[in-house]
Amino acid sequence: MEDYKREDGPVETLTASVREYLLMKWQMAKLTGLEGVSVFSGRVLALTLTLVVVNIAFLFLGFALSYWIGSLLDSDALGFIIVGGGFLLFGLILFLARKRLLVNCMVRFFVEMFFNERG
């Protein structure tokens, strides 16, 4: 019997090329998804840590302002009531402007993160 080496025809070559192309596209999609998840989780972690630090700073500044106003008015309780009322007013303003301030910013954040073309 003669041993011969079989050469692939054009159909087999095309099939192998399409299979390799689809495999590479699938791997690229997985890597792109992994990159998106990594960027998202990194930004969420950074935002969370920043918010924690800012909240602690506001807490201490609120106490200091309360005691200072209380010393001016000779009533610590009145100082805390005034500062608490100021924080409630600030919270009400944020609540009323939440769409313009928060939702639109979040939409821009996600659009930039997921649809920004990377080089």
88 occurs within a structural domain: yes
Both tokens assigned to 43: 């930004």
5 occurs within a structural domain: no
pLDDT of amino acid 6: 58
Cβ atoms of residues 66 and 83 within 8 Å: yes
Host domain of residue 49? 11-115
3 occurs within a structural domain: no
81 occurs within a structural domain: yes
Q: Point out the residues of the chain with pLDDT beneath 70.
A: 1-7, 114, 116-119
Domain count, the chain: 1
pTM above 0.75, yes or no: no
97 occurs within a structural domain: yes
For the beta carbon of residue 83, count every other beta carbon within 10 angstroms: 20
pLDDT of amino acid 1: 47
